Structure formats: structure tokens, C-alpha cells
Structure 1
Amino acid sequence: MADRAVEKIVAFIDLGTNSIRILVVRLNPNSSYTILTKQKELVRLGDGEFEHGKLLPEAIERTVTVCRKFAELARSFGASEIVAFATSATREAKNRSELLRRLVEEAGIEFGVISGREEARLIYLGVSSGIDLGDQSMLFIDIGGGSTEVGVGDRHRYRILESLKAGAIRMTNLFTSGSESGVVPPENYQEIQRHIRSEGIHAMGRLKGARFDLAYGCSGTIQTLADTTRLLYHPEKAEDNFVLTHTDLQQTVAYLCSLPLEKRRRVPGMVAERADIIIGGAAILDVLMEELAIPGIRISDRSLRDGMLVDYLSRMDGFPHAEPLSVRKRSVIQLGRSCGIDEAHALTVTRLALELFDSAADQKLHTCGAWEREMLEYAAYLHDIGSFISFKGHQIHSQYIIRNADLLGFDQRETGVLALIARYHRKRVPGKKDVLITSFGNRARRAVRVLSALLRYAEHLDRTHAGLVQHARFVNAQNGVVCLQIQCRGDCALEYWAVQSDTGAFKKTFGKSLTVECIQSREP
């Protein structure tokens, strides 16, 4: 890992057809980053553009005003660099040079105008960096104001990127803006669908041949449709991991089309500012789900600006984003570094904990599998993260930080398991009926008890933070006694003493007595 000498503040601005988003981050010397702020403002830059090809003066004025405020915000945090991209409305406007000139002169920001395919690539980076895909592939859909980006890829790379000239504002301007009441008759809605199919015929033809396991929607339009559908028809379902089916979407669309605009604004889950353009966006999703045979779509809160950050970090040596890591591992490393953990100690404890896990399995001390091993690896790396708050009681602080961190790629149960493994790596040992783990299922409860015990001894084996213990394994589990064999260099008396003084925790967890054998290493 290449440390940076000083921290750096960078702002990322995404100028879309409907809204402007900003993300300000601090790049830390230890190759982690800290989010300082993220904000969004509705500007409707593309309002009226798609009928005559020009940005309206009032839309330009709104956009310049917000960009000027965002630039001031970025510089108030000390940003030394602003990375800014403009998308569909700007790239298609005949008078885009006027907007770009004013943004430079009045806001001090030079925007890059990116193609639809580059926009899709950045969205892919943003979405894929927040999902643990494993060996699966995903299709993503991002419905913007002027265009819709669709792509297919796995955790390593994209395979297809497409951009359709069909967006929520564009469809509204072209097909529904003349309606006084806001009600959209079936024949009008079908006209929108025909246009989308015609506009996207080549892109959808290429996408139909692509294999994917999961589908994600990552725009405000899709999020609003999912929220509305869930509250209307499935209020018993939790928001997390809600899947919007095509059947439910069609039911929601029919209901929304039947309502006047003012009533549509008051529908549960509806974002009032999107009510006038939601039908145009829904038609795009409806067509794509039908044409690409997507039975259901999950929601991601990741977007273009997240992809801009990932793309930026991927070109910087030392940042985990520049390495071929899984989303989960990258997220864990990012959290640990952002809280200033002792990374050398964390890596030593992680290595020893995994050696103990594997040898304990060989000695039939547990029946845990690959998932538990992965949880132990991440919990071991983060076990001391609570020292960021205070060393005293840091295991409790570790539990809080991990439980409440935005760890990408993990579900709530997994973050809870990680937090409790870290919580119990020192001081008291969890019992089978411990109140903190009773809400988990049997497998998760067992994982917390077994893995926290293994982490406990791995921590003992690096008591001095000097990396004296090179290897550790359980051997000779016979007659109710297990031997912990440690191979060390130099004097590891403190490590030996730490294990010997805590053998009661082993007995409580595994039901066997523990002895310790120390072997001097011949390794350098």
C-alpha cells in the first residue's frame, strides 16, 4: 500500500437532465476516503428541450445558480479538485456551449460532456461497486430525464453498455405535456411505449442475447415506482431488498395513469416533484422489463456520481479500488482505513484467525463453512476499529461502528454478525442465550460464538503487535483436550501468557480443555 503524504479533498458533480448531484470526499493518507457531504438539487435542465433541441434560458439559469452553490460548498470543504460531468440534456442541446461557458465563468467549473455509453460505464461502476455479485452477472437500468442507460456485467467487468434516447422528461415533453388534467389515457400510454420500442430497437436487440442473473434499477424514477408499489400493494414487505415485479409495475402504472396530477402527487410513496414525469419513466421500465424478460428488479441507491468516485480511485495506487477485490472486501478495507486501524496488526490477526479456523475444522471443533470463514476474515480485520473512539471498551465501540457502517455487499444479518464477533473478541464470552444474539437464527448464533472465540485467541497471539507468532494451529484433539501449537520467532512470552490466562473461554465455547505448545521458528 502506497501512503499519500497529505490528504486531498475532491468533489464530484453529476449534471443530469432532471437534477444535479454532488459528492465531496476526503482522500486520506492511508488510501481510504471519507464522505464529507452528498447533496442533490432538482433543476429540470431538460424541460422543454426535447421539442426544439435547445435548453431554455430559465433552465440554464437554474442550473448555473445551483452549480455555483455547489462549487462554493465544495470549496468550503477545501476541495482542490472538482470532477464534473454533464449528460443527456447537455450533450444534445444545440446551445450547450452557452451553458458550459456560463458554468466556467460564474461557477468556476469546467464540465466534461460524456457520451451515453460512457455514462452507462460510470453507472455500471457505481452500481457494481455496491453489490456483492459473487459469480453472478447483473443487468442494470438507470432511467434519467433525457436518456436511459442499460448494461450487463459481472463484478469484474461490463459486457454490454447501451444508451437509449428515452428519459422521463423527454417522454413527458413529447407525449403527455399537452394533457390539462394529467390523466394519461391507455392509447396515449401505448403511444409512448411504441416510441420507446422504436427508439431502442437496436439496443434491446443486443441486450436480448445477454445472460444475467439479477436486475437492478438505480434511478430516482425506479426507486419511486418501487416505493409506491410496495406501499400500495405490499405494505407488509420491508423496504430493504424489495423486488419490483413486472406484474406489480403494470398495476401501479395503470393506477397512476388514471389519476389527475394533483391526486398522483399524493399517492403513497410518490415523490411530489416526480409526479408529472413518472408516467414517462414508468413506460420505459415497463417496455424494458417486457422486452428483456425481466421478472423483477431490485433497487440500488448507487448512481453516476458513485461511479465517478470509483473510476477516480481506480487510477490511484494504494486504494483498494485499484485492485481486483470483491465489493465486500473493498468495503471492509475502506471502513478500516477510514477509522485509522493498525493495519499491520489487523492483517496479522486475520491471518492467525483463519489458520485457527482451518485447523479447528480439521480437528472437528466446529462444522462451520465458507460463509463463516469469510465473516471471520472481515471481523478480524475490523476487530479493533472501536479504538477510533476510545481504547477503553473498544470492543463495544467496534460493535457500534460495524453495525451502523454502510458496508457495501452485506445484508443486515451479516453486518450484525460481524459486529458481534468483534464485540466478543475480548472481555466476556457470549452464551447460547445471550440477549444480543437471540434475534439471529441458529447458524448465525453459532457463528458468533465460534468465530468470536477464534478471533479472541488470534488477538492474544499478537498481544505485542509485533507479529512474533508466525503460525498457529490446533492439534491432537483427543480425550477432551486440544493443543494449540504456536510457531514464533523471538520471545513471545506475552502472547503465550495471554492464551494461557484465557483458556476458560475455549472450554465454554468448545467444551474441551486447551493446552499451549510453543515452537521456535526457523523462518526469518
Structure 2
Amino acid sequence: MSTGEEHVVGFIDLGTNSARLLVVRSHPDRAYSELNRLKEVVRLGEGEFIANVLQPQAMHRAALVCRKFVEMAQGYDAENIVAVATSASRDARNKDVFLKRLRREAGVDVRIISGKEEARLIYLGVSSGLKLGDEKALFIDIGGGSTEIIVGNQQEYFYLDSLNLGAIRLFTKFFSPLETGPVTQRRYKKIQRHVRQSSVRTIQRVKPLKFSRAVGSSGTLINLAEIAAKLCHPSGSGSVDVLTRADLKTVVAHLCGLSVEERAKVPGINPERADIIIPGAAIIDTLMEDLNLSEIRISDRGLREGMPIDYLSGSGDGEWMDHRTFRKRSILQLGHSCGFEEAHAKHVAELALQLFDSSKAAGLHKLGESERELLEYAGLLHDVGIFLSYRRHRAHSYYFIRNAELLGFDETEIAVMAVTVLYHHKSYPRRKHPQFAELDKRHRRVVRILCVLLRLAESLDRTHGQVVKQVEFRPKDKKTTQLNVTAAGDCQLEIGELQNHTWSFKKTFKKRLVLSLNGVEIDEPTNTDPQTVSS
């Protein structure tokens, strides 16, 4: 995105219960002005959490709403639409079918984000509406499928977590759709026990962080505060901006004594939440008890408001706001946690980027900056699996990358990095391999290119001595590409390893690869696909 121009961008947050739209006009100073916002209840997670399958009617509702949002954003001449999906989508076994349907019927590419990434975006959205300074705050966001918990001040977060606790998820677990009567105290206590068991480790980690205030966001908390203001303070002395634990107890007792039909008529309630309000209340009730919170301040900001802040951080020169720098920090944090050999990892990443740039200049591919960035990060993490064991370390690296919940990335980006690392040595990606097959056609092509570049880069530092200083692809003729290697010392082991991968280069780019070391062309050895011998 150019930093010197204004742009209109639409942001869609496709949650488990509601879908939200925010259309903004961005300004060169990374500020933005809001043009429109919209929220629709879609109940995407309805009926899902029994077998983790999105139901046809729920997907249909979501597609219709997303189509409406896209058309609205386009009405403002939006140049880009950024859409993310959260708990219901990331847990669904049929999420690929759903994403394809959204692309086909709504004309939007939706990215599924991890729970911790969801928490990070919520933090950006809520904290930006507060004046915290250096004061630490606890942030709690209760969604339909998950609850995010964050501790941070104005400038940074210190803790991020996402719990599989949400109003729709708990309703599915503890209630039948046919149950419409009051909720017994025994049933409510049973829900609380589940919340407590699911959040015990998070509570243990949050308590020592010594925050001075608690802030709650999401429709559930906003609605509970509105009910409390009318039920507990009918004279108008109550505030919808604060929910006290005492008022919450009163609200819970009142709502549990009513049928769903009666709850829908309670002053202050959103009738569409009448069935799921009690499971949602049980979550915040239990968290307030266990964290000893006397009150929680209510914010109407959340993930939707965090998305433009995150998007706009990709421009400008302020490093703390630089989205790419943030993503790289997340990558390096995983590397350090696994005790990676940093000098080797960074050298392989740098060589991989040289190979990417020169192969693009040589006309071998047409990938862009996003794929280049993922290759760099795959280079940095290619050996993290050694932390577990050297044997099968590529498979271990794949597992670490897929399961680390890297911040700033969506699930597809994480999968591309992980699969690229999985195939950075002998085995070539094939459709029969499940890790590769789960990618769509475009990203399978991306991985084939990136894994070849990464295996060449890793070979060029086989001794971990950083002897090879520069590499560059140059077209030699229509059927041949030459790789020029510049080294500052003996690199025969690197050249020998490099020659083992000329077959995968030819398989991917349909060209023969010849090597040149310090200006002298190297004789090409007889080479075959090693998978015909051993994988």
C-alpha cells in the first residue's frame, strides 16, 4: 500500500455468532476515518461444536451476509477487502469447503486466524480506544466460540491467550435446542465448573501480572452491562460502561429463572441472544470470581477495530508499528524457543532471498513480496525441529511451525511456511502427501517453488560456515539456467550438496541447472530423483 495516498478499505470480521463490517478511508499518516460499520447475527457456529462441522444453513447465512458486506464496501469504492474468520471456522473440519463457498458466492477471500492472533487483534482494537499509558489492563473478550484474554498497556501486550469457551460453544455443550425453560442452579454451576477447569492455567498465569483494571469487549458483555443497568438501577443511576460483579450476580439469578421466551423480553437484552446469554454470563461470572474482579469496564471496540490498525501498520517507518517487523519478531521468538542456530538460519534465509530475487529476474516465477517474505521465514525456521531430535527434524519443524500459533499470520501462510520447510531436503511434494494435498492448487505451486529455493539455500551453507557470500540465477539459454556462486573459501561440500538438488530444480522450473563457482563453470554430475532410491 502506498503511504502517500488515501485508500478506502473494507474489513470483515466473521465470528462464530456475528459478522461485522468496518469501511474506512486511510490517510498517509496511518490514521483513518470511518465511513460505515455494520453488524449482522449469522450464528455460523450453530450446531457446529458437536462434530466440528459447519452446517449448510449457517454457511448459507454467512455467505449472504458477506456478499452484502462486500457490495457495501464496493459502494464506497473500496480498493481492498480484508476478511478474517475466527473460532467456528478454524475448528471446522469442512472449513476449506466454506472458504471456497465464500470466494464463489461472496467474492471475498477470507483468512482464518489462530486464537492468539485473534487475541492480538482484539488487543489492538480495544487498547486503541483507551488512555492507558504504562498502566497494565486485563482485556477479556467473550465470543461465540472462544474467549480471548490479554494483559497489556498502551504500547504492548504481555500475555495473550485464547480459550475454547464461547456462548454458542457452551450452549451446544450444555443445552439441547429444544430446551427453552429456566436454567437450574445446578445446571449453571455445572457450566461454571467447566469454565473453571478450562481456564485454570490461564488464571494462574494472569494473576501475577498485576494489572490495575479490567476491560471487557464483545456483544455478550455489552448486553450483560445493558441488562444490569436497567435491572439493577431502574432509576438510571447505573452505567452501561461498567459491569460490577454484584450486579452480574443479580442479572444471572434473574435470567436463569426465566424461559427463553421470557428472557427475550428482559429490558436491555438483545432478543437474538436470549438463548446463549446464560452460557456467556457463566464465562465472565467465573472469570471475575477467580480473578477477584469487583468490576469490569465495557468497551464497544474489538477485533473489527483492531484490523485497520494492524493493516495500516504495514506502511510508514515507525518500527514498533511495522507489521513485517512484528511478524519477524514472532518467527525469531519461535526460533529462540527451540534453540536454533541463529547465524546459520539467518544466512540460509538471506541466500534464499537472493535466490528468490534472481530467479524472478530470470523469469523462473512470478511470485510476489508476500511469498518472498514467507520464504525468508521458512529459511529462519527450517531447522527448529532439531530441538526435538535431528532424526526426522524436518517433520518436527513442520509440526512446530503449524502449532506455534505464530502471531501476525493466517492459517494459510503458516501452512505454506510449514510445508515448505517439510520439503526442504530430499522428498519432493506430491499430491499423495496429506500435508501438501491440504493446500489449494495455487499454494501447492507456491510451495513447490519455495521448497526448491530453500533446499538450494540450505545446501549452500551445508558446513554452517557461511562461506558462500552471494548467489544469482542467470539465464544461459532457453533450456538452461546457470547458478553463479561466489564464495570466500573452500565450499566443495556445499557444491556437492547443491548438485544433489538439480533434479528438483528441473522438475519445478522445467529447465536444466548448471553451476558456476567464482566464475568457473562446474561439470554437471549424473543426477536422478533421489526419491526413486530413498525418500
TM-score interval, smaller chain: 0.5 to 0.7
Query: Does structure 2 conserve the Cα–Cα contact (< 8 Å) formed by 1:310 and 1:321?
Result: no
- The DSSP-based 3-state class of the residue aligned with 1:49 is coil
Matching residue's letter, 2:7? K
Alignment partner, residue 128 of structure 2: 129
Identity %: 51
1:232 and 2:228 are equivalent in the alignment: no
The residue aligned with 1:423 is: none
Residue 306 (1) aligns with residue 298 (2): no
- 1:33 matched to 2:32: yes
Q: Return the alpha-carbon distance in structure 2 between the equivalents of residues 132 and 12 of structure 1.
A: 24
Q: CA deviation at 1:309?
A: 1.1
1:199 corresponds to which residue?
Answer: 198
Please say if residues 21 and 37 of structure 2, whose CA atoms lie closer than 8 Å, have aligned partners that are also in contact. Answer: yes
Distance (Å, rounded) in 2 between the aligned partners of 1:241 and 1:250 = 16
Q: Which residue of 1 aligns with 2:96?
A: 97
Match of 2:49 in 1: 50
2:243 corresponds in structure 1 to 244
| Residues 384-416 of structure 1 deviation map (CA, whole Å, 9 limit, x = unaligned) | xxxxxxxxxxxxxxxxxxxxxxxxxxxxxxxxx
Does 2:80 correspond to 1:81? yes
| Conservation of the 8 A alpha-carbon contact between 1:145 and 1:169 | yes
CA contact (8 A) 1:182 1:276 kept: no
Deviates more, 1:169-178 or 1:80-89: 169-178
Q: CA deviation at 1:238?
A: 5.5
Residues 139 and 152 in structure 1, CA contact (< 8 A), matched pair in contact too: yes
Residues 231 and 320 (structure 1), Cα distance of their counterparts in 2 relative to 1, 3 Å cut: farther
Matches within 5 A, 1:214-225: 214-225=213-224
Counterparts of 1:100 and 1:263, CA distance in 2: 37
* Letter of the 1:260 counterpart: S
Q: What TM-score do the two structures reach when normalised by structure 2?
A: 0.58
Q: Find the counterpart in structure 1 of residue 63 from structure 2.
A: 64
Q: 1:242 & 1:5 partners in 2: Cα distance? A: 38
Which letter maps to 2:285?
Answer: D
AA aligned to 2:103 is: V
- Quick check: 1:32–1:319 contact (8 Å CA) kept in 2? no
Report deviation, 1:73: 1.1
Q: Are the equivalent residues in 2 in contact too, given 1:163–1:203 (CA < 8 A)? A: no
Do residues 180 (structure 1) and 176 (structure 2) align?
A: no
**1:400 — aligned with what?**
none
Check whether the contact 1:31–1:319 (CA below 8 A) recurs between aligned residues.
no
Listed as ranges, the matches of 1:472-511 within 5 Å are: none
The superposition leaves residues 112-168 of structure 1 with CA deviations (integer Å, 9 ceiling, x where unpaired) of 111111100110111110000133111011100000001111111101111110100
The residue correspondences of 1:110-189 to structure 2 (distance < 5 A) are 110-177=109-176, 180-189=179-188
User: What is the CA distance between 1:105 and its match in structure 2?
Assistant: 1.6
Q: Distance in 2 between matches of 1:8 and 1:227?
A: 36
Q: In the alignment, which residue of structure 1 is the partner of 2:290?
A: 291
Q: Which amino acid letter does the alignment assign opposite residue 260 of structure 2?
A: L
Distance in 1 (CA, whole Å) between partners of 2:271 and 2:51 is: 27
Distance 2:95 2:87 in 1: 11
Q: Report how far residue 250 of structure 1 moved.
A: 1.1
User: 1:3 touches 1:318 (CA, 8 Å); kept in 2?
Assistant: no
**Aligned ranges for residues 251-290 of structure 1 at < 5 Å?**
251-290=250-289
Tell me if the contact between 2:127 and 2:153 (Cα under 8 Å) persists in the aligned partners: yes
Distance in 2, matches of 1:197 and 1:261, equals: 25
321 and 10 in structure 1: CA distance in 2 versus 1, 3 angstrom threshold: farther
Measured after TM superposition, the shift of residue 178 of structure 1 is: 5.1
Distance change >3 Å, CA 27–CA 208, structure 1 → 2: same
- Tell me how far apart the structure 1 counterparts of residues 136 and 13 of structure 2 sit (CA, whole Å): 26
In the alignment, the residues of structure 1 paired with residue 134 and residue 65 of structure 2 have an alpha-carbon distance, to the nearest angstrom, of 41
Segments of structure 2 that go 5 or more residues without pairing to the other structure are 323-535
Q: Hey, what does 1:409 align to over in structure 2?
A: none
* Residues 30 and 155 of structure 1: CA distance in aligned 2, closer, same or farther (over 3 Å): closer
1:311 Cα deviation from its structure 2 partner = 1.1
Alpha carbons of 1:129 and 1:258: their partners in 2 closer, same or farther (altered >3 Å)? same
Q: Does the CA contact (< 8 Å) of 1:167 and 1:281 recur in 2?
A: yes
Matched pairs, number: 322
- Displacement, 1:237? 4.5
**Equivalence map 1:428-447=2 (5 Å):** none
Q: How do 1:278-427 residues align onto structure 2 when only pairs under 5 Å count?
A: 278-317=277-316, 322=321
Aligned partners of 1:3 and 1:30 also within 8 Å: no
Change (3 A) 1:3 1:238: farther
Aligned to 2:445: none
Provide structure 1 residue ranges, at least 5 long, that are not aligned to the other structure: 324-524
The AA in structure 2 aligned to 1:105 is: R
Question: Structure 1 residue 247: deviation in Å?
Answer: 1.6
In structure 2, relative to structure 1, the CA distance for the partners of 1:6 and 1:135 (3 Å cut) is closer
**Aligned to 2:35, what secondary structure does the other structure show?**
strand
- Tell me: CA distance 1:164–1:75, structure 2 relative to 1, closer, same or farther (3 Å): same
Q: 1:204 deviation in Å?
A: 2.0
Structure 2 CA distance for partners of 1:321 and 1:109, relative to 1, 3 Å: farther
In the TM superposition, residue 95 of structure 1 has moved relative to its aligned partner by 0.6
Q: Distance in 1 between matches of 2:178 and 2:246?
A: 27
